[in-house]
Structure 1
Amino acid sequence: MDPRTSAQDVMRCDLCETAVVQTHCDTCLVKLCKACVGEHFSADLSKPHKIVDFKDRKSTPLYPGCTSHDKEQCEMYCKHCDRPVCLSCLASKQHLGHELSKVLQVLDEKKDIIIKERNELNDMIYPTYQDMASNVQNRLSQIEKEYGDLSTAITKHGEDWHREIDILVKKLKAKVDEMKNKQLQTLQKQLNEINKNISDIKEEINSMETAIDTNNLSQLFSIMSNVPRYLNLPHKLIPLLPKFIPGKIHWEELSKIFGALSPSSLTTDKNGYSMKTTQKSPEAGSYPPVKQLFDEPETVTTIDTGYVTLYNVACLSDEEIWTNGYDSNMKLFNINHGSLLKSITAKSVNKPWDIAVTKSGDVVYTDYSDRTMNIVKNEKIEVVIRLENWRPGSVCSTSSGDLLVIMDSDDNKQAKVVRYSGSTEIKTIQFDDKGKPLYSSGSYSRYITENKNLDICVSDWGAKAVVVVNQAGKLRFRYTGHTPALQNKLFKPLGITTDSQSRILIADRDNHCVHIIDQDGQFLRYIDCGLSNPWGLCTDTNDNLFVAQLLNIQVKKIKYLQ
């Protein structure tokens, strides 16, 4: 592997980009090897370059430049004028009688203020907004379920009636959807605003952290906190759901007595939100715990599965994994001992296309040829969904308990993602804002997972890309691989999973590695660990990675986070 492109490489000189860093220019904030020091000096002779050992970087104070006198540095601070001043300013008698302090003294005072405000953001404001986001998200999920129950009640009542009332049933269900969408949009809007504030708060915390650690006084004085704005919390919205009130069957007054929906609305909780002090932001190390990537990921254990070829792996717990390969059997293995605990044969003679584990611990698998999605409960297989004109591919279980399925049309000209609550279809994702297909057409391998931020991530082998949309189905980004690839092969993603840090991990079979990207699509590094044709992926609750290898039919457990 080229050390200049390795994800585990040491820091390199900013000039030659090859030699190891040995020194640092505290004036220009540039990393240098010893051989490049002279070149750096000669590149800009107008600056008083301060070269120090790299371990002593940022030890030299960088005084602000004077706005009134070129090339003069401000070593004093006029409290009356509230700005740094140089010796020439003082000599001009403009600050005669003003209270003056050394600028380094003001620096310490400013840092104390920033540290205090950073701590307030870190310890109270940030966790409060995290709590609000969780609260609104839970309400969104609850509304989805309760509105689903409402629609089911209307449907059940409608089934007691003759087919002539079907149109009335549809109208009422449409009204339910309209009410639901209106409330969801209102709550989603608030959630978006809260998440925006969370993002802004994190950015401010990071800026303050940088300012506290810097010796660049100009950067320090530029820090302006928005703490008062975040202290003004939004109203807490409480959705009031409509009720379905069934009426007795009376054919003459069908439209009146079938039933009606009570109005829906959102009220404001007078108590509202309150500031939290028991949690801290991720930067403070507790919400969620920040886990750094290992410089060298390590293989913990290897499990032989006995398939002809191995495709997928799904974690049942931190001790057990389900697998499926090129036959109709799904096998449960003990991770620590590598022993086979159970084997279940799919209902049809076809091999399962993909497997997933639900929140309740049941196994769900898709049968591409049979057009079914099935669930295994107490070793008995039930058909949950049978499709028409579409074939199910990859499936995943979401944090809310829903199932996400990516499927192909029978003519292989369309692909889409469908969200199911039980057997009820509640959302379809197929096109972007311009009406163009999000996913490639054709019977290519595609895999799907939900990220911790509720993004829906699809690895699209046909498109040679990972397609990530938000919960509403709006395209966020496409990841098309990282250059250079480890084996110089095209990026054709297969298995996909996420971890507790919202990082996305993608199997790259042809390059014999796993890509790690952040939740916004930025490449972080590769994991190879001697992988051979990696296909399926999953992670457990401790962020251990499990990789199903196609041809050597082994599952590798890899530790890649500290």
Structure 2
Amino acid sequence: MEISTSSLQTVLVASIQTGSDVPRRLACFGSSEVWISGIDDVIEGWNMEEEFAVKDIFQTGSGRRPTDLTVDFKGRLMYSDHYQRKIFKRKNRHVKEVMCFRKWRPSGICYTSKGELLIGLSNKNYSKKLIRRYFGRKCIQEIHFDENGIPFFKPGDLAIFVEENKNTDICVTDCQAKSVLVFDESGSVRFKYSGSHVIAEFKPGCLATDSLYHIFIVDTGNDLIHVLDQYGQLLGFIDDACGVTGTTGIAVDSENRVWVTECHTSKIKVLKYS
């Protein structure tokens, strides 16, 4: 199969002017609801069906911006706080602490199809990084070393983001190593992607997946989004030719539409691609 490295065909479905100061993260629920956060401590919830009305807005309480956002199967927001070493849930307009780590700092978080929580963790001095899978508060899996005892992830203070693909693969951005690792459900590496198709330095950040097993990777170094299939083949890009620039956050809704943040315009753009 010939690999296309051109811009994907996209249609702009919606453009939302948020109140966020430099939006960085977002998480979708269903086809119309989205949560966003920026560089401050405010998190906003928007509803697309209500003419983009703000349905909820609150401050984290710590004075710190959230590191990452995810939504559980009931549509309740969860967010990680790297500095406090905690994970919180927003329920009935109240924020509840659900996890606290003594030795680890949570970064990327993701709910799985089985209702488990995948968390990217770094120790206090960033010399160790790993992925843990939790069912409730119980850790049931840890992805840290390969069969030779070599760590999968590079030390350093940059985050690791995680997302489950619909084939139950675990997709991880190692921002420090400037690469994306994809594991099967058991924790074995399926492939590594290092963005060799771009000219400038590949700087992967947030990522998302859809029901067709596509993987969407934000690349801030080249100001575009890489789109891969489940085998790691590059299908194309979402870039300025698609009407999107300055992307930092990305999510996919239940209709396989791609939601992205534009940090310089404070907008969310919703795209349908082919």
- The two structures have a TM-score, normalised by structure 2, of 0.94
Q: What is the distance in 2 between the residues matched to 1:474 and 1:5?
A: 28
Report the secondary structure of 1:506's partner residue. strand
SS in 1 for 2:24: strand
Match of 1:435 in 2: 149
TM-score, normalising length: structure 1? 0.47
Distance across 2 between alignment mates of 1:364 and 1:5: 36
Comparing 351-360 with 338-347, greater Cα deviation is found at 338-347
* Deviations 1:195-223, CA, capped at 9 Å, x for gaps: xxxxxxxxxxxxxxxxxxxxxxxxxxxxx
Per-residue CA deviation, residues 456-511 of structure 1 (Å, 9 max, x unaligned), is 1011211111111111111111100142x2xx311111110111111111111221
The one-letter code matched in structure 2 to 1:553 is: S
How do 1:104-183 and structure 2 match up within 5 A? Answer: none
Residue pair 1:494, 1:507 contacting (<8 A) in 2 also: yes
Contact 1:515 1:525 in 2 (8 A): yes
Q: Residue 9 of structure 2 aligns to a residue in which SS? A: strand
Identity, % of aligned pairs?
32
The residue identity in structure 2 corresponding to 1:388 is: R
The alpha-carbon deviation at position 437 of structure 1 amounts to 1.2
Deviations 1:165-201 (A, max 9, x none): xxxxxxxxxxxxxxxxxxxxxxxxxxxxxxxxxxxxx
The aligned counterpart of 1:149 is none
- For residues 154 and 249 of structure 2, what CA distance do their matches in structure 1 show? 20
**Separation in 1 of the partners of 2:119 and 2:157?**
15
| Residue 63 of structure 2: aligned partner | 349
Within 5 A, what are the aligned runs for 1:274-289? Answer: none
Matched residue, 1:508: 219
The structure, 1 or 2, with the larger RCO (C-alpha pairs under 8 Å, 6+ apart) is 2
What's the offset of the Cα at 1:518? 0.8
Counterpart of 2:238 (choices 523, 527, 534) is 527
Q: Looking at secondary structure, tell me which structure has more helix per residue.
A: 1
**Aligned match for 2:118, one of 383, 404, 415:** 404
Partners in 2 of 1:534 and 1:482 — Cα distance? 20
**C-alpha distance in 1 between matches for 2:266 and 2:155:** 29
List alignment gaps of at least 5 residues for structure 1. Answer: 9-294
User: 8 Å contact 2:4–2:236 — kept in the other structure?
Assistant: no
Cross-structure match for 2:270: 557
In 1, Cα distance between the equivalents of 2:21 and 2:75?
A: 27
Structure 2 equivalent of residue 426 of structure 1: 140
Deviation by residue 1:320-365 (Cα, 9 ceiling, x = unmatched): 1110111111101122523322102213222111110001211111
Q: Distance in 2 between matches of 1:338 and 1:509?
A: 27
Which residue of the partner structure matches residue 460 of structure 1?
174
Contact 2:23 2:266 in 1 (8 A): yes
Offset at 1:305? 1.5
Q: 2:156 aligns to what SS in structure 1?
A: coil
Tell me which amino acid in the other structure corresponds to 1:418.
R
Cα distance in 2 for partners of 1:6, 1:348 equals 43
Distance 1:551 1:428 in 2: 37
Distance 1:444 1:494 in 2: 10
User: Which amino acid is the alignment partner of residue 230 of structure 2?
Assistant: Q
Check whether the contact 2:20–2:42 (CA below 8 A) recurs between aligned residues.
Answer: no
Superposed CA deviations along residues 39-71 of structure 1, whole A, max 9, x for unmatched, are xxxxxxxxxxxxxxxxxxxxxxxxxxxxxxxxx
Structure 2 segments unaligned to the other structure (5+ residues): none
Q: In the alignment, residue 313 of structure 1 is paired with which amino acid? A: L
Contact 2:5/2:235, CA 8 A, preserved across alignment: no
Please name the residue that 2:23 is paired with.
310
Shift of 1:533: 1.8
Alignment of 1:38-437 (within 5 A): 296-335=9-48, 337-437=51-151
**Deviation string for 1:525-549 (max 9, x for gaps)?**
1111132221111111110000112
CA positional deviation for 1:6 = 4.8
Deviation at 1:552? 2.1
Query: CA-atom RMSD, angstroms?
Result: 1.6
SS at match of 1:525: strand
> 1:99 corresponds to which residue?
none
Aligned-partner Cα distance in 2 for 1:318–1:497: 15
Separation (CA, whole Å) in 2 of partners of 1:309 and 1:407: 25
Q: State whether residues 403 and 421 of structure 1, in contact with CA within 8 Å, keep that contact through their aligned partners in structure 2.
A: yes
Is the 1:406–1:447 Cα contact (8 Å) retained in structure 2?
Answer: yes
Compute the displacement of 1:426 (Å). Answer: 1.4
Residue 202 of structure 2: aligned partner: 491
Q: Whose strand proportion is higher, 1 or 2?
A: 2
- Please report how far the alpha carbon of residue 550 of structure 1 lies from its aligned counterpart in structure 2 after TM superposition: 2.3
Shift of 1:385: 0.9
Distance, in Å, in 2 between the alignment partners of 1:560 and 1:396 is 23
- Post-superposition shift, 1:455? 0.8
Deviations 1:267-298 (A, max 9, x none): xxxxxxxxxxxxxxxxxxxxxxxxxxxx5212
Query: Partners of 2:147 and 2:48 in 1: how far apart?
Result: 44
The answer for the alignment partner of 2:162 in structure 1 is 448
